[in-house]
Amino acid sequence: MPSYTGQFGVVKTASNAIGQVKSFSVSTTADTADSTYQGLEWKENKTLQKSWSGSLTALWDNTDPGQIELSLGAELVLTLQPAGTSGTGTANELSGTAIITGIEYPSDMASMIETSISFIGDGILNQSVSS
């Protein structure tokens, strides 16, 4: 069974790679409805709608075309490749249309200035996986 490291992870918009990414995450959820009825000992549930959201942290670069595209309220296609673009596992990617819902610019005298971007999916999250 293969395993991968995240050190070469890549995040791209449709037109630019996001520069100086330090980390990113994507979460998926499925809403459910209780379909239990009298006479059953165990609860039963049905899957309803699915959703996805995530965040990324990068060293702040106000000249990076990719970071500039990630403006508050922007709706754009994001492609996230946890294992990067070269070598084993590179076909593993997540992609879909996302809306940028939050941007933070924390500043600390003891570290580099980073930007934290949060986003929510607008529609399906496509997943391509290879071994």
pLDDT tens-digit series, residues 62-88: 999 999 999 999 999 999 998 877 665
Confirm if 33 and 46 have CB atoms less than 8 A apart. yes
Residue 92: per-residue pLDDT = 84
pTM: 0.86
Distance (Å, whole) CA 82 – CA 111: 25
